[in-house]
């Protein structure tokens, strides 16, 4: 959990970079997960798409990749976006749900516990949507 917070802070602090010769700069932002489409169970050896939905705050936010922490059979996941530094950014409506998908390969028995980051509470504690998915053979 603390690793996710450290990653978030690191990305925010060290994020301005030049991505091309015209001086366009950007930062990274980890966004909270709104919902997840994940199977009710997995079969050993199979690959499953897992779709994560999150709100895109502005038209300057674009999906980059997933933060993905693997610890035994637990996975912590959150979408990371580029945020382009542009004065013409428009705030998007609250219903602007974006989907991003990753493929998950089942490599062990038991259950997998997925923790999808949903932001921080008022005390600064990370909040997660936790889903346990059993593995069948």
Range of the domain at 63: 2-136
- pLDDT of 15 reads 46
Chain centroid to CA 134: how far? 22
- DSSP H or E stretch at residue 83: strand 74-84
Structural contact between residues 28 and 120, judged by C-beta atoms closer than 8 angstroms? no
Total structural domains within the chain: 1
* Model pLDDT for residues 2-52, shown as the tens digit of each residue: 555 545 544 444 444 444 445 568 888 899 999 999 999 999 999 999 999
Structural contact between residues 94 and 114, judged by C-beta atoms closer than 8 angstroms? no
Taking the chain, what is the end-to-end CA distance rounded to the nearest angstrom?
A: 31
- Alpha-carbon distance values, 124 to 59, 68, 136 (Å): 27, 21, 37
* Model pLDDT for residues 103-132, shown as the tens digit of each residue: 999 999 999 999 999 999 999 999 999 999
| Token pair listed for 31 | 């966004």
What's the rounded mean pLDDT across residues 61-78?
93
CB half-sphere exposure, 11, CA atoms < 13 A = 20
Query: At 114, which CATH number?
Result: 2.60.40
């Amino acid at each position: 959990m603390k690793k996710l917070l450290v990653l978030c802070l690191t990305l925010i602090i060290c994020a301005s970079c030049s991505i091309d010769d015209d001086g366009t700069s950007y930062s990274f932002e980890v966004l909270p997960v709104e919902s997840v489409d994940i199977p009710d169970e997995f079969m050993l050896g199979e690959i499953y798409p897992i779709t994560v939905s999150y709100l895109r705050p502005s038209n300057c936010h674009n999906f980059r990749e997933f933060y993905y922490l693997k610890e035994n059979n637990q996975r912590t996941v959150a979408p990371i976006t580029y945020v382009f530094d542009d004065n013409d950014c428009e705030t998007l409506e609250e219903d602007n749900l974006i989907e991003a998908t990753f493929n998950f390969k089942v490599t062990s028995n038991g259950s997998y516990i997925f923790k999808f980051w949903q932001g921080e509470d008022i005390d600064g504690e990370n909040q997660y949507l936790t889903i346990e998915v059993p593995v069948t053979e």
